[in-house]
Amino acid sequence: MTDPTPHDIVIVIPVADRPRHLSECLNSLLTLTRRYPYAGQVSVLVAEDSLDDASIEQHRAIAASITQQGIATHHLGSDEQKALVDALPEDARAALAGIIGDGTIYAHKGASITRNIAYLWLNRLQADGRRRLFWFIDSDQEFRVNVAADGGEQQVYAIDYCNALNRIFNETPTRILTGKVVGDPPVSPAVMAGNFLDDVAAFLTDMAHCAPQQPCTFHGAGRHADDAAYHDMAGLFGFKAAAAFRYPCTLESKHDHAACFADFAGKLARFFDGEHPTRRSVYEDAELMGTVKPARTIYTGNYVFTAEGLDWFIPFAALKLRMAGPTLGRIIKAELGDKFVSANLPMLHKRTVEAIGQSEFRPGIERADTRVDLSGEFERQYFGDVMLFSMERLMEATGPGAGTSEQENIDALVAEVEAGLHEMYATKHREIADKIQRLRALFNAPEQWWQQDTALGQTRALFENFIDNMQHNFGDDSRAWRTVNDAAHRARRKAAIVGAISRYRADRHIWHKTLIATTHPIQPSPLPQGEGQGEGIQSP
C-alpha cells in the first residue's frame, strides 16, 4: 500500500564562488514554494566549495536570509565538512580518499567530492525514520523553465516540482530519478565548438545577402535544440549530428540587420562560458507520469533519490573529470534497472550572470583580458569520456558492480578505449581547425558590408576576438590539444583511471559499511515563528 505521507525534500546545492548564481537559485525556490504549496517539509543544504573568503561569507548570508524567509537552509562550511570526514574511522578515511578527498583540501576540491561529503551529512538524517527525497542541483539553475513564445522565450514557473516528485516516488518503484535542464546546454564548450562554428558561418553567410539598413529578417519560429544538437560527437551517444541552426534574433524593438549583427557579436564571448546563442532548448509540457522512463544518465545538476540512493556516491571523484554523471548513470542502470528513471522535470540553466556577462566561476577556465583558455576543461572532458566509455565497456563485459582485481584486463580496456577516442578527437580537431580558417576568411572578406562600415569597428573587434579565442583553444597549436596529445600526460591519466576502476568494488563495500556505521540523528531546528513549512535542519 502506498504511504500517503508526503516526503520531506532536502535540496542540496554544491557551490564554489558563485554568490549571484546562488542568490538567484534560492530566490527562485522561494517563489516556487509560494506558488505551489507542498505539504511536506522543504529544506536546503548549501555545500561550500569556495576558495574566496568573501564568497563564503556571501553564501552564508544568503542561506541565513532564505531561512528567515521560510525555507530552512543550512550552510555546510569547510570546517563542518572536515569534522564529518575526521569523524570517520581512520582506516575508512584512508580507504575513501578517492571519494571524499584526502582531508587536506576543502576549497575547490571539486563538485563530485563536495557532493559525496554532503552524502555523509544527509546520511545522518536517517535515524529519525522520516521519508525523505534528496534532490541535488547546481547553483547556476533556477526552479523554473523557459518556454517558446511569440518573438522569443519566456521564463516561467510552470512545474510544480515538489508535488510531482512526491507523486512519482509514491506511485512508482523509483529509487533514483534524473531530470534535465533547459536554456543553456548541460555540456562543455569543449564539445560544442564545431557545431557553433557551423552556426556562426551560417549567420555570416545569411547576413552577407542582407542589406545592413533593411529591417531584420532573423525572427520567427526557430528550431529548438535536443540533447544531440549540442554535442560535436553526438554519434558517441547514439545520436545523429544536427545540421546548422539559424540564429533567432532576440531584439524586440524595430531594428535593422546591422543592429542584429552587433547584438549577435556581443553574445559570441559567452560561448566560452557554456552558452550557445543558436541552439537552446525549451520546456515542452507533457502529462507527467507518461514521461517517466528508464534512464541511463545522471544529470548531476538535477537528480533525486531516496535514502537507498546514498549507496551510489559520485564515482572517481578525486580524478576531477567531467562525465561523472553519465558514468554514475551507467552503473545505476545496471544495478537498479527500472527503479532508475528520467522524467520531464527540467530546470532552467543559466551559465552566465547578466550583470557581468560571464560565469562567476568555472573550473578549468583561465582568463586574461580578452583571452579565454579552456584547456583545463577540455582535458577534463577528454579523460572524462575515457572514464565513461571504459566503465560502459567494462559493465557490458562483467555486469553490475564493475571493477575487478584483474588490473591488467582493465589496463588493456582503458588503453583501447582511449586510443579510439584519441583518434575521434583528432578527426574532430582537424575539422574544427578547418572551420576556424574558413570562418576567418568569410568574416574578413573585404567585400562584406560589415568590413566597409566604419561604425562597426567595435562589433568587428568582438568577432575577431571570438575567432582568435577559437583558434587559441581549438586550433592546430592549442594548449588543449597539446595536453591531450602528450604521451606522458595520457599515460598518467590512464593509470589513474585504471586504478580508480580497479578499486571501485572495494570502494562501494567500504562506503556502504561507513554509511551504516555513521547513521545518527540530526536534531531539527524550528524556523522563525509563524514562517515557512515546518521544521528545518541543522548540523549534527
119: cell is: 552524502
∠ CA(167), CA(171), CA(174), 5° rounding?
90
Q: Please give the Cα distance from 490 to 294 (Å, whole number).
A: 35
**Strand ranges in 105-166 using DSSP code E only, listed in sequence order:** 132-137, 141-142, 145-149, 152-156
User: pLDDT at residue 19 above 80?
Assistant: yes
Q: Please give the Cα distance from 137 to 46 (Å, whole number).
A: 10
Q: Please give the Cα distance from 387 to 319 (Å, whole number).
A: 10
Residues 425/382, Cβ–Cβ less than 8 Å: yes
Secondary structure (H, E, C), 340-379: EEECCCCEEECCCECCCCECCCCCCCEEECCEEECHHHHH
pLDDT confidence band for 358 (50 / 70 / 90): confident
Q: How many whole angstroms from its chain centre is CA 248?
A: 25
Domains of the chain and CATH, by start: 8-184+283-361+508-517 (3.90.550), 189-280+373-492 (no CATH)
Predicted TM-score of the model (pTM): 0.92
pLDDT digit string (tens) for 155-182? 999 999 999 999 999 999 999 999 999 9
Q: Please give the Cα distance from 340 to 56 (Å, whole number).
A: 35
User: pLDDT at residue 61 above 70?
Assistant: yes
User: How high is the pLDDT of residue 354?
Assistant: 79
User: pLDDT at residue 514 above 80?
Assistant: yes
Q: Please give the Cα distance from 364 to 373 (Å, whole number).
A: 8
pLDDT confidence band for 2 (50 / 70 / 90): low
**What is the rounded average pLDDT of the residues 70-97?**
95
User: pLDDT at residue 532 above 70?
Assistant: no
Question: For the stretch 305-317, what's the b/e string if a residue is b when 16 or more beta carbons lie within 10 angstroms of its beta carbon?
Answer: bbbebbebbbbbb
CB atoms under 10 Å from CB of 257, counted, come to 22
Residues 116/314, Cβ–Cβ less than 8 Å: yes
DSSP element (H, E) containing 48: strand 42-48
Which residues is 437 bridged to in the sheet?
Answer: none
Residues 166/301, Cβ–Cβ less than 8 Å: no
Outline where 290-345 has alpha helix (H).
Answer: 324-336
User: pLDDT at residue 53 above 60?
Assistant: yes
User: How high is the pLDDT of residue 485?
Assistant: 93
pLDDT confidence band for 456 (50 / 70 / 90): very high
**What is the rounded average pLDDT of the residues 22-48?**
98
Residues 14/138, Cβ–Cβ less than 8 Å: yes
Contacts of residue 65, defined as CB under 8 A and 6 or more positions apart, other chains included, come to none
298: cell is: 545522471
User: How high is the pLDDT of residue 152?
Assistant: 75
**Strand ranges in 89-221 using DSSP code E only, listed in sequence order:** 132-137, 141-142, 145-149, 152-156, 176-178, 181-183
Q: Please give the Cα distance from 200 to 472 (Å, whole number).
A: 17
Q: Please give the Cα distance from 98 to 119 (Å, whole number).
A: 15
Read off the amino acid at residue 430.
R
Q: What is the CA radius of gyration of the chain?
A: 24
∠ CA(254), CA(221), CA(264), 5° rounding?
55
Which residues is 293 bridged to in the sheet?
Answer: 342
User: pLDDT at residue 531 above 70?
Assistant: no
User: pLDDT at residue 239 above 80?
Assistant: no
User: How high is the pLDDT of residue 221?
Assistant: 64
Q: Please give the Cα distance from 111 to 318 (Å, whole number).
A: 10
State residue 225 phi and psi, 5-degree precision. Answer: -85, 140
pLDDT confidence band for 240 (50 / 70 / 90): confident
Read off the amino acid at residue 78.
S
Residues 500/98, Cβ–Cβ less than 8 Å: yes
User: pLDDT at residue 537 above 90?
Assistant: no
440: cell is: 576567418
Coarse DSSP helix, strand, coil percentages of the chain, rounded to the nearest 5 percent: 50, 15, 35
pLDDT confidence band for 535 (50 / 70 / 90): very low
Q: Please give the Cα distance from 377 to 387 (Å, whole number).
A: 15
Cα distances (Å, whole numbers) of residue 185 to 46, 62, 360: 23, 26, 17
Q: Please give the Cα distance from 279 to 188 (Å, whole number).
A: 13
Helices vs. strands in the chain: H and E counts, helices first: 17, 15
% of the chain exceeding 90 in pLDDT:
80
Q: How many whole angstroms from its chain centre is CA 8?
A: 25
DSSP element (H, E) containing 539: none
7-11, 367-371, 396-400: least confident range: 396-400
User: pLDDT at residue 296 above 70?
Assistant: yes
User: How high is the pLDDT of residue 536?
Assistant: 43
State residue 322 phi and psi, 5-degree precision. Answer: -75, 170
Which position has the grid cell 523553465? 145
Mean pLDDT of the chain: 91
Angle between helices 19-35 and 161-171 (to 10 degrees): 70
**What is the rounded average pLDDT of the residues 208-218?**
96
pLDDT confidence band for 317 (50 / 70 / 90): very high
348: cell is: 532552467
Most confident residue range from 118-132, 201-215, 341-355:
201-215
User: pLDDT at residue 519 above 70?
Assistant: yes
More confident site: 462 or 535: 462
Residues 157/31, Cβ–Cβ less than 8 Å: yes
Burial class (CB in 10 A: 0-12, 13-18, 19+), 187: middle
Cα distances (Å, whole numbers) of residue 30 to 35, 134, 302, 346, 387: 9, 18, 18, 18, 38
